[in-house]
Amino acid sequence: MPTAVNDLPAILGGRPLVTLDQERATRWPELTREDEEAVLQIIRDGNISTHPVIHELEADYAKFTGMPYALAHNSGTAALLAAFFALDLEPGDEILVPSATFWASVLPMLWHGIIPIFCESEPDRLGLDPMDVEKKITSRTRAIVVVHLWGLPSKMTELYSIAEKHDLKIIEDASHAHGALWRDKACGSLGDITVFSLQGDKLAPAGEGGIFLARDYEYYERAVCFGDITRIIELKTPAQRFAATSFGIKTRIAPMSAALARVQLRHLPERNRRRNNNLVFLSKHLEALGFHTYLPPEHIHRVYFEYIIRYDHARIPISLPMLVSALEAEGCMIARPRYPLVHQQPFFTEGHALDIARLPPDFAPPKYHAKDLPQTTAANETLIKLPSFPNADRELLEQYVAAFQRVIRHAEAIRTKHLEQKPAE
């Protein structure tokens, strides 16, 4: 930790406090000989399209989540496209969705004529706000998309109760939450249909890939018919008649990705443990400085797809841009979270979304406005992102803590200096 003599913040001319190498500490995904061997084995076997490793991956995910039916896909987006198809809804039916998510939790439904209705996210765990969800239910609402954002399980008790009361299905997007638990149940087992993305940044990546999981056979069968002809052939039901065509999409995962995904899933617990140890350590120190770090309540085991914290101006005496600049000057890797709110994007505000949905002529489409969802919009402005430190040593984390402490300790001087440097108006 710095002494008082050389305690000048780097932004005011002092020496940066974060000096250790951050490349290894933040490198992800973690790929080892085991991954290489698994991929080579597929090449040696020679079946690079329909290799049994795909079935094995599905069995792994069924076991991991406890969901009875699993179907591997070539992306999380494709798995979500299949999930919305599986619900067998009518054009113009509505699904309640968060805006604070990656676009793929929402947009695929439009290709089935389903209308996304955006809801606020709540401040505690950044998932759907049950109060707003209930307000947005209409006679056309059929389902809710639940996203465990950044690895924080959503408020399932309240969302289940709403779903039950209004007879709504739950599509769980667990793409950020491999290994998270809600009341000892795996995220990935909490929806009628669940989807994981296995894209390269995720906690158990495959390069590109996705997993569709269903509680009921009917959903699985529709997902199979949608986009996987080799699997339609295996069906023992009249649905086998679609084997020559599918429903016009191809969603099958590549075996080399499936092989990677199996190895990555095997190592998930130990790698999640490392991230959690690092980020809980950091969080406890940052909480003491006035940041909100989304440490979960007792009944939740969260994971850290990304490490997002909240800045509260009432507790931290400099503005967010100044804070970010001061921490950057100290050598911290710090950024704003990378998802813009979905409902504010031109795709929605300019009307392209409803073009894709091709609604019946008499249908009165909803209007999407950037000013909707003031609670989520305001909250989004206060979030900052730090590395998720899959591989950091304690010394590097201590340097981060020291950098935050120094910037907060000198907040007033940093603010004054900034005001002095502002050009006169």
Ligand X SMILES: Cc1ncc(COP(=O)(O)O)c(C=O)c1O
Binding residues (CB under 6 A) for ligand X: these are 75-77, 101-102, 104-105, 147, 173, 175-176, 197, 199, 210
Closest CB to ligand X among residues 9, 127: 127
CB of 299 to ligand X, least distance (A): 22
Contact 95, 141 (CB under 8 A): yes
Closest CB to ligand X among residues 105, 272: 105
Closest CB to ligand X among residues 228, 330: 228
Cα 221 from chain centre: 26
Burial of 46 (0-12, 13-18, 19+ CB in 10 A): exposed
CB of 195 to ligand X, least distance (A): 7
CB of 5 to ligand X, least distance (A): 46
Closest CB to ligand X among residues 73, 410: 73
Tell me, what amino acid is at 415? R
Whole-angstrom Cα distance, residue 133 to residue 99? 12
Write the DSSP assignment of 313-375 as a string of letters: TTTSSS-HHHHHHHHHHTT---B--S---GGGSHHHHTSHHHHHHT--TT-------TTS-HH
Task: Give, for 260, the enclosing helix (H) or strand (E).
Answer: helix 255-288
Closest CB to ligand X among residues 173, 192: 173
Task: Give, for 394, the enclosing helix (H) or strand (E).
Answer: helix 394-409
Write phi, then psi, for 340 (nearest 5 degrees). Answer: -70, 155
* Nearest position to ligand X, beta carbon: 76
Cα 225 from chain centre: 27
Task: Give, for 96, the enclosing helix (H) or strand (E).
Answer: strand 94-98
CB of 152 to ligand X, least distance (A): 12
Closest CB to ligand X among residues 77, 325: 77
Contact 348, 341 (CB under 8 A): no
CB of 404 to ligand X, least distance (A): 27
